[in-house]
Amino acid sequence: MLNKSIIFFMTFLLSISVLADDIANVSIKKYEFIPKEVTVKKGTKIRWTNNEKRQYHSVWFEERGDPEPDYFFPEEFFELEFNETGTFSYRCGPHPKMVGIVTVTE
């Protein structure tokens, strides 16, 4: 079992992880987006990976007027590229208490 320091460090690494091909990663586990807040540069793609054992989720930018995307299941992912600056909140369609924020900078 991992101790709290290791879990914190792993969460920190996830919060700043942007891969060489400009993909930032968000994990979905235990009905939470990890990290809940992500800051990326314009043109970056974010990948939400469902790491649940059985549960499906969606990543819905409802306030932007986006339609709810298809649900994705364990070991599947959803990607979205951000080409405009701003702060965008989102939620999981079937689980409205699951929320997150994407901030896009120049």
Average pLDDT of the chain is 87
Nearest to 42 by CA among 88, 93, 99, 89: 88
Say which CATH superfamily domain 4-105 falls into: Cupredoxins -  blue copper proteins (2.60.40.420)
pLDDT digits (tens, 9 = 90+) for 67-86: 999 999 999 999 999 999 99
Q: Please say whether the beta carbons of 22 and 43 come within 8 A.
A: yes
Q: How confident is the model at residue 48 (pLDDT cuts 50, 70, 90)?
A: very high
Query: Percentage helix, strand, coil, to 5, in the chain?
Result: 15, 40, 40
Question: Containing H/E element for 14?
Answer: helix 4-16
Q: How confident is the model at residue 19 (pLDDT cuts 50, 70, 90)?
A: very low
Enumerate the domain spans of the chain: 4-105
Q: Which two tokens stand for residue 101?
A: 């924020």
Amino acid sitting at position 57: H
pTM assigned to the model: 0.79
